[in-house]
Structure 1
Amino acid sequence: MTTTPAVELGLLGGFLTQVRDRPHATALVFNDEETTYRELYERAGRERDRLALLQLAPHAPVGILADKSPATVALVLGCLLARRPLLLPSPALADTLLADLFAQAGCAHVLAPGGHSARVTPSPDTPAQPLPADQAADTALMLTTSGSTSLPKIVPLALDAVDRFTRWAGNAFDIGPGRTVLNYAPLNFDLCLLDVWTTLARGGRVVLVDPALAAHGRHLRDLVLRHDVHVVQAVPMAFGLLQDAAAKTGDTFPGVDHVMFTGDAIADRTLAALPALFPTARIHNIYGCTETNDSFIHEIDTTATTFPPVPIGRPLPGVHALVLDPDTRTPVEGPGSGELYVHTPFQSRGYLDRTRHADKFTDHPLGLDDRRWFRTGDLVRRDATGTLHLNGRTDFQVKVRGVAVNTAEIERVLQEHPDVLEAGVAALPDPIAGRKLIAAVRRAPHSALTGLQLRTHCARHLPRAAVPHQLTLTDDPLPKTATGKVDRKALDLLDRISPTTAPTTAPTTTPVSAPLAEGIPS
């Protein structure tokens, strides 16, 4: 009799193989406490037993509401082992949104680890929209999009899609026994499919970053060094924190051989620092979204002396990409620009609430195949080598005084300034201009960057209409959505409360020649 190699098994089969063959190997490290594969399985078994006591109908979903911890990982595994679909939203969402999400998913129970009561129960006023019968049996995880003030969309993921992803990620980044992977993202992020679930399926060791310490660069530096981490995947903000912490001590991380940043644009100063910070690592930009999971990858040339804007790269194996000209609605063959559609082996079949598809999950726009495509809303450019570059988003295109501008491009230009750690731009209604651009910028530590200097930088690199009307400088992290991206909807609130706001009209010359006083409206 032949047995399936562990590397070909999916999440559950791979995890159970590790429990059987390597029970005493470390599965998780959390705040210096280690959990072995056997201990994690036993915890998951107790959670599965608690689930059985609820006497739920077959394939009826449950909700999980808890911060990241080994106990929460065990609870998720207990649901997966019981073939019980689970909704895993961000615990940082407002309670009213959480209650609506759990109700919409048809969750009769919201669980916390160890049988404890969760702080939220499903709303009795929100109608349930259960999984279609043909999907309920094979749905594993239900994640959510990043809605902040509106109800996020629920994204069901089938177990076979998760399994296909763990096989790709494990092979791509050499994840297996003897390998240690840092998990920075909260468990509700799709990033965890790689750094938590792929690692457990392949027998590696996951170092979980405590959410309460995730903004402390020194803590991140210590974790990577102390636990001999080999693979680091995180949002760009985490690498900025590592960069600043390591700069104070002169540390580098030669033990890391794979670095992946994803989820947002990376600041130029952070990108330029990565090759020296991780001197033996291959460095990748990974592009994807919750609905499709990872779709494109680009490896950075670490021998380069300058770093242009990072491409999103080329499709992963099995991923199909379509660039559609927004004017002619025809496919762009070869070099050219347009809106990106993707089909991946790892994608969701659609939102739980089918009324919210809004043409996002579509047939081929021209009916040329029978695949299910996802309309990303991203504007891309394909160069002569076939590499894709992100130009912005269709929903980031706004008109200021009749001129079309792209807020994502403005953010990119702001982040190119060496003293800028992160930036966000929003367009607010304006009775005269149509839209008024406001920007918030987080300065690098000890930076003396002023609003005038930053406006001068913008004026040199942007059209006049794209220079923000109002700039807010802060030394604190910008507000984030539940998925860790800059919350552009909250920028106007930050603008009102910040003591370092610098409103101004757009400059009439380039560079700005007239002195502008910070904090004084034009």
Structure 2
Amino acid sequence: MPTTSFVTAFAAQVDARPHAPALSWDGAAVDYASLDRLARESAALLHGLPADAPVCVPAHKSPETIALLIACFRENRRVLLPSATLGDDALLRLCEQVGCSHVLTPQGVRTTGADAASLPGPGLLLTTSGSTGTPKVVVLAERGVDEFLAWAARTFGMGPGVGVLNYAPLNFDLCLLDLWAALAVGARTDLVDPERATDGDYLAGLCAQWAPAVVQAVPLFFRLVTATGRVLPDVREVLLTGDAAPPALLTGVAAAFPQARLWNVYGCTETNDSFVHRIDPARTPTPIGTPIDGVEFRIVDDEGRDCDSGELVVRTPFRAEGYLDPALTRDRWNDGWFRTGDLVRRDETGLVHLTGRNDHQVKVRGVRTNVQEVENVVLAHPEVVEAAVVPLPDEEAGTVLHAVVRRAPGSRLNGLHLRAHCAAALPRTAIPGAFEIGGEALPRTSTGKVDRTALRARRTAVAEGV
């Protein structure tokens, strides 16, 4: 992410337009000169830390955290940017994996006990979106980031004075577009307070107050905003990303943002955005579309042969260098091609449609989450005998996780205990929304495996009052 070129571009904006707003936060604007001053003050936190060692900056959204990140890039530091909701145990494991001996926040520095590694060069180390336990660490390529920032600003008309809404957490790759590309070209990023991210009136009011021209968010945001009935005519570019949007929602989005072009944007942390499609709400289903300029793709079957329905494999100028773990890189990358794990089909017009995943991952509030890893965390509790985690459809979140647990005889285990246990190891979105705890054995298939289909059907019947 932010690279040597970004640092130069940001400095140019500070010099040319010091009093132009760079961010809006909590009802007030922060201009480029003020953000620059905060970054210079934050640089003091880096004094005395091991040279070339990566640092960890939890992604607590605020101007101060953004300034701290800019200070790290100026000092040629690699920065691990984990979720602000990651449990402390998982955070320390992640720091040990990367070699981050220090965790930095705007309030100060603390040591992790990890041996400091050497990872020279500016930029961010992102974790895979929605991964649980100890996430995979993605090393973004400087050249790829520079090309993506330029593409995003050019494609969506970002420049001086243009407002861009930031709904995603700071550790999401979506921030490449709505934060870092915006700051590189003198635009203003309107930061959504994560504590109010499910308040539709707040979200619609923020759009009305700051009138951003570009709004990028997951479908949940648009569900919440359209439910308020507000019409926001100042928005001219709407980017839906992270999950599928049903036809009824697209119709509502078109009515709420009457002057906007609607886009479906597809990508993953490892490749940034790869496909983009101009949405016509009257035509369904919505494809992920066609590849962005410079992106190549293949659809392959289980034997790696080209086909029209199979796994999507992409090669893109925006791609990462790989994972921090070379073994994981070898498993997913080959000669610049990345296996996405997404299942797609190509229709008769050549457009590509997303049909599912080839592993155990689902999306919860737009965040890719590995159900098997969540289940492993639940099973690690000493009073859990067996457990299964099943994804269930939800109107607001898209998918919610439901855990069915058999506790040990005599145990007083309850949902609060398990929620606290999961919070120490999982991001917030990966914690099951409900825990069904009892003493009965879980149903099994004929092969002896937990029958998740039966559990899902049973829960659905309960929800429907059958």
TM over 0.5: yes
Cα distance in 2 between the residues matched to 1:495 and 1:318:
48
- Check if 1:389 corresponds to 2:321: no
Equivalent of 1:45 in 28, 40, 50:
40
Cα distance in 2 between the residues matched to 1:162 and 1:211:
25
Equivalent of 2:394 in 439, 442, 451:
442
Cα distance in 1 between the residues matched to 2:197 and 2:141:
30
Structure 2 match to 1:356: 328
Residues 314, 77 of structure 1: alpha-carbon distance in 2 compared, 3 angstrom cutoff: same
Asked if structure 1 preserves the Cα contact closer than 8 Å seen for 2:277 and 2:289, the reply is yes
Asked if structure 2 preserves the Cα contact closer than 8 Å seen for 1:504 and 1:521, the reply is no
Q: Which secondary structure state, in structure 2, belongs to the residue aligned with residue 357 of structure 1?
A: helix
Residues 76, 97 of structure 1: alpha-carbon distance in 2 compared, 3 angstrom cutoff: same
Residues 257, 494 of structure 1: alpha-carbon distance in 2 compared, 3 angstrom cutoff: farther
Structure 1 match to 2:48: 54
Equivalent of 2:136 in 153, 158, 161:
153
Cα distance in 2 between the residues matched to 1:143 and 1:197:
14
For residue 505 of structure 1, report the CA deviation from its aligned partner. 8.8
Q: Work out which structure has the larger RCO, using CA pairs closer than 8 Å and 6 or more positions apart in sequence.
A: 2
1:426-437 equivalent positions in 2, closer than 5 A: none
For residue 438 of structure 1, report the CA deviation from its aligned partner. 4.5
Cα distance in 1 between the residues matched to 2:453 and 2:465:
9
Structure 2 match to 1:399: none
Q: Which secondary structure state, in structure 1, belongs to the residue aligned with residue 18 of structure 2?
A: coil
Equivalent of 1:97 in 65, 78, 90:
90
Cα distance in 2 between the residues matched to 1:317 and 1:19:
31
Cα distance in 2 between the residues matched to 1:243 and 1:358:
44
Asked if structure 2 preserves the Cα contact closer than 8 Å seen for 1:284 and 1:299, the reply is yes
Structure 2 match to 1:318: 294
- Check if 1:374 corresponds to 2:374: no
Structure 1 match to 2:432: 490
- Check if 1:289 corresponds to 2:261: no
- Check if 1:207 corresponds to 2:190: yes
Equivalent of 1:75 in 43, 68, 74:
68
Residues 256, 10 of structure 1: alpha-carbon distance in 2 compared, 3 angstrom cutoff: farther
Q: Which secondary structure state, in structure 2, belongs to the residue aligned with residue 72 of structure 1?
A: helix
Asked if structure 1 preserves the Cα contact closer than 8 Å seen for 2:132 and 2:370, the reply is no
Cα distance in 2 between the residues matched to 1:69 and 1:354:
33
In percent, how many aligned pairs have the same letter?
42
Residues 101, 256 of structure 1: alpha-carbon distance in 2 compared, 3 angstrom cutoff: same
For residue 290 of structure 1, report the CA deviation from its aligned partner. 0.7
1:465-480 equivalent positions in 2, closer than 5 A: none
Cα distance in 2 between the residues matched to 1:440 and 1:298:
28
* AA of the residue aligned to 1:380: V
Asked if structure 2 preserves the Cα contact closer than 8 Å seen for 1:291 and 1:347, the reply is yes
Q: Which secondary structure state, in structure 2, belongs to the residue aligned with residue 359 of structure 1?
A: helix
Cα distance in 2 between the residues matched to 1:320 and 1:342:
6
Asked if structure 1 preserves the Cα contact closer than 8 Å seen for 2:265 and 2:288, the reply is yes
Residues 107, 385 of structure 1: alpha-carbon distance in 2 compared, 3 angstrom cutoff: same
1:269-288 equivalent positions in 2, closer than 5 A: 269-288=248-267
Cα distance in 2 between the residues matched to 1:95 and 1:24:
39
Per-residue Cα deviation, 1:318-376 (whole angstroms, up to 9, x for no partner): 111111122x42123xxx1121111111211111122333611223xxxxxxxx11110
For residue 55 of structure 1, report the CA deviation from its aligned partner. 4.4
Asked if structure 2 preserves the Cα contact closer than 8 Å seen for 1:153 and 1:352, the reply is yes
Aligned residues: 410
Q: TM-score scaled by structure 1?
A: 0.71
For residue 160 of structure 1, report the CA deviation from its aligned partner. 2.5
1:399-414 equivalent positions in 2, closer than 5 A: none
Residues 24, 205 of structure 1: alpha-carbon distance in 2 compared, 3 angstrom cutoff: same
Residues 311, 495 of structure 1: alpha-carbon distance in 2 compared, 3 angstrom cutoff: farther
Provide the aligned C-alpha RMSD in A: 3.6
Structure 1 match to 2:168: 185
Q: Which secondary structure state, in structure 1, belongs to the residue aligned with residue 275 of structure 2?
A: strand
Q: Which secondary structure state, in structure 2, belongs to the residue aligned with residue 331 of structure 1?
A: coil
Residues 154, 504 of structure 1: alpha-carbon distance in 2 compared, 3 angstrom cutoff: closer
Residues 123, 236 of structure 1: alpha-carbon distance in 2 compared, 3 angstrom cutoff: farther
- Check if 1:164 corresponds to 2:147: yes
Structure 2 gaps of 5+ residues are: 377-386, 398-421, 439-450
Asked if structure 2 preserves the Cα contact closer than 8 Å seen for 1:232 and 1:259, the reply is yes
Residues 345, 190 of structure 1: alpha-carbon distance in 2 compared, 3 angstrom cutoff: same
Structure 1 match to 2:6: 11
Structure 1 gaps of 5+ residues are: 1-8, 364-371, 397-406, 416-420, 430-434, 446-478, 498-502, 507-511
Residues 226, 355 of structure 1: alpha-carbon distance in 2 compared, 3 angstrom cutoff: same
Asked if structure 1 preserves the Cα contact closer than 8 Å seen for 2:74 and 2:122, the reply is no
Per-residue Cα deviation, 1:242-261 (whole angstroms, up to 9, x for no partner): 1112x2xxx21110000001
Residues 437, 357 of structure 1: alpha-carbon distance in 2 compared, 3 angstrom cutoff: same
Structure 1 or 2, whichever has the larger Rg, is: 1
Cα distance in 1 between the residues matched to 2:389 and 2:71:
48
Structure 2 match to 1:299: 278
Structure 1 match to 2:108: 116
Cα distance in 2 between the residues matched to 1:299 and 1:319:
17
- Check if 1:263 corresponds to 2:263: no
Q: Which secondary structure state, in structure 2, belongs to the residue aligned with residue 490 of structure 1?
A: coil
